[in-house]
Structure 1
Amino acid sequence: MRPIKRIHKAEYRPIADLVTYSPLPTRSLQQIDPFIFLNHHGFQTYPERNQGLPFGPHPHRGMETVTFILEGDIMHKDSSGHESVVGPGGVQYMTAGRGLIHAEVSSSEFKRKGGDLEILQLWLNLPAAKKMVSPNYIGLQKDEIPAFEMAGGKIKVQQLFGEWNGVNGAFEGTFPLTMSTIYLEKGGMFNKKITSNENVFFYIVRGELKVNGEEIMFRHLVEFDNSGDTIEIEALEDSILILGHAKPFNEPMVAQGPFVMNTQQQIYEAYQDYQAGKFGTWEH
């Protein structure tokens, strides 16, 4: 069994009228290299004629985002020319690389009609050698993502990156990465082997799980020790889990606002390049 090092409760950090919890980074946990940031928006219900998500045009460099849409939708638009609306069960994968400007807002339909919203965004670091790759974006709806079942149908897995159970993920990562969204019915159980040289990202979105014998509620991130290779999970109630693992980069990281680089000088250069228009132009 892979020992649990610490359990981190997501901190409440609302953004305007958007309910937001964040377990990473906090005072107790800076990163789980290369997983560096997580915002959990919702669950909440928007009324008719709402303002929707508040994330208007802003820049990024040196990192990637994986956005999980559980309820509601996101309309993505960026300076590389990508544009899409992704609905419930869908996932967006964006590589900022050398720099882009993007907006993540609600569709006009959601703003008009309202409805339930629950969305999570995870930031992945990029290794130094790939900080300045070309920007990219892929948005997939639920039915476009490979999935499989375990435990007699009590466990449903969306495979996003890497391979598990003979199923390859929907996205080709910029670096080796395995990640899944796991939907568990009460009583569903599974084990997963993860080699001790990989760091584990383990966040309970909904429900309650027994993890290596310890009961853990939703909105908690589990930090594992790098010894042992098996995680044993049992759903104590219907639950949703985001589970990822990757080898750490073990590189210096300087994160400032929307930029994640290796040195303070590179952060300064990112601001300079953005102000000089090198991240592309934004067309409204």
Structure 2
Amino acid sequence: MSNIGLIIEERAADIGNFLVGRLLPFREKRAVGPFVFLDHMGPAKLKDYQNLDVGPHPHIGLSTLTYLFEGAILHRDSLGTEMEITPGAVNWMTAGKGVVHSERTPERLRTTDKSLHGLQIWVALPKAMENIEPSFFHIEAKDIPEWQQDNVSIKLIAGKAFGKESPVPVYSPLYFIEIKSTNPATLNIGKDLFGDSALYILEGEIKNDGNTYTSKQILVAKESSLCQFEMSENCTVYIFGGEPFPEEHFIYWNFVHSDKVVIEKAKQDWIDQKFPKVPNETEFVPLPQPKFK
């Protein structure tokens, strides 16, 4: 019997001036462990006059993880951070009680042809830590644990697995793992996983119990300890998950919290521009209005 409980197909979503592939949340699966949001950006080829410009917008109650395959993004936030992220590195921003940030094409690339490809991920915070002070960490690519195992290359981008730990400062038990194959490979890694678990196929194919699955799909496991599959050559997958929270976390726009009252206050605070400002940024993304009232 297959261990795959749900297949989620990538869906196009418009974030204002850029199309992304939305994977989480999904109507039948709002979260995988603490992971509540996953966007696949690109791959996009941008002309010399096209740039990523996501203006200042707020977050509460979560951590964001940005991981690029190609290109570069300049992150600025209300803590005063200004950091360019490039492929293989991690930007980890914890919003806690509230932070504002922008994401733009760096100045050095704004008048050149360029590529952009990567993942944007939101991780909900445990109830006791939803309102902590905001923070930002940048982890260089060279500091992410990477090793060879079972004829594949593995990176532990965040969390704990395989007896190793990523330097990304997470707040609950989780894992976010990259696995790349050059030649066909068979893996059985369930003993290293826990909680909810899902597998995202970026490129290539995997086989499980006689079924073949292709890129731009998330496969949600019924049981993390039964995670075993065959990878095609030149395949890249991301396995993510962890311990789910006992309470539901709600999402409205960029706000994630276990208390809807807190989300309502954040909405009004953004309308009233009571959030902290991003230095040297004057514009902002307005609060979206519900499609139906």
- TM-score, scaled relative to structure 2: 0.87
- Is contact 1:2-1:229 (8 Å) kept? no
Deviations 1:218-274 (A, max 9, x none): 110111113x61211322131221212211102122211111111221111223444
- Is contact 1:35-1:201 (8 Å) kept? no
- Is contact 2:160-2:173 (8 Å) kept? no
Partner residue of 1:133?
132
Partner residue of 1:201?
198
- Paired with 2:16 and 2:271, the residues of 1 have a C-alpha distance of 26
1:97-246 equivalences under 5 Å are: 97-152=96-151, 155-194=152-191, 198-226=195-223, 229-246=225-242
Q: Structure 1: which amino acid aligns with 2:204? A: G
**Inter-CA distance 278–129: structure 2 relative to 1 (3 Å threshold):** farther
**Inter-CA distance 117–29: structure 2 relative to 1 (3 Å threshold):** same
Q: Gapped runs of 5+ residues in structure 2?
A: 281-293
**Inter-CA distance 211–108: structure 2 relative to 1 (3 Å threshold):** farther
**Inter-CA distance 14–212: structure 2 relative to 1 (3 Å threshold):** farther
Partner residue of 2:291?
none
Deviations 1:168-190 (A, max 9, x none): 21212111212212222231332
Q: Gapped runs of 5+ residues in structure 1?
A: none
**Inter-CA distance 74–212: structure 2 relative to 1 (3 Å threshold):** farther
Partner residue of 1:260?
256
- Paired with 1:274 and 1:255, the residues of 2 have a C-alpha distance of 15
- Paired with 1:150 and 1:37, the residues of 2 have a C-alpha distance of 29
Q: Secondary structure at the match of 2:111?
A: helix
- Is contact 1:191-1:233 (8 Å) kept? yes
**Inter-CA distance 230–127: structure 2 relative to 1 (3 Å threshold):** same
Please report how far the alpha carbon of residue 276 of structure 1 lies from its aligned counterpart in structure 2 after TM superposition: 5.8
Taking every aligned residue pair, what percent have the same amino acid on both sides? 27
Partner residue of 1:12?
12
Partner residue of 1:80?
79
Q: Secondary structure at the match of 1:229?
A: helix
- Is contact 2:96-2:133 (8 Å) kept? yes
**Inter-CA distance 195–247: structure 2 relative to 1 (3 Å threshold):** farther
Please report how far the alpha carbon of residue 197 of structure 1 lies from its aligned counterpart in structure 2 after TM superposition: 5.9
Please report how far the alpha carbon of residue 128 of structure 1 lies from its aligned counterpart in structure 2 after TM superposition: 1.2
Partner residue of 1:248?
244
- Is contact 1:209-1:237 (8 Å) kept? no
Deviations 1:151-170 (A, max 9, x none): 24xx1122122333343212
- Is contact 1:70-1:90 (8 Å) kept? no
Q: Structure 1: which amino acid aligns with 2:21? A: Y
**Inter-CA distance 147–14: structure 2 relative to 1 (3 Å threshold):** same
Please report how far the alpha carbon of residue 70 of structure 1 lies from its aligned counterpart in structure 2 after TM superposition: 0.5
Runs of 4 or more above 6 Å deviation? none
Please report how far the alpha carbon of residue 49 of structure 1 lies from its aligned counterpart in structure 2 after TM superposition: 3.1
Which residue, 278, 287, 292 being the options, matches 1:282? 278
- Is contact 2:99-2:275 (8 Å) kept? yes
Number of residues of Structure 1 aligned to a counterpart in Structure 2 = 280
More off after superposition, 118-127 vs 231-240: 231-240
- Paired with 1:112 and 1:213, the residues of 2 have a C-alpha distance of 49
Give the root-mean-square deviation of aligned CA atoms: 2.2
- Paired with 1:278 and 1:33, the residues of 2 have a C-alpha distance of 32
- TM-score, scaled relative to structure 1: 0.90
Q: Structure 2: which amino acid aligns with 1:73? A: A
Deviations 1:90-139 (A, max 9, x none): 22111111100001111112222222211211111112111011111122
Please report how far the alpha carbon of residue 9 of structure 1 lies from its aligned counterpart in structure 2 after TM superposition: 0.7
Q: Structure 1: which amino acid aligns with 2:171? A: T
Partner residue of 1:55?
54
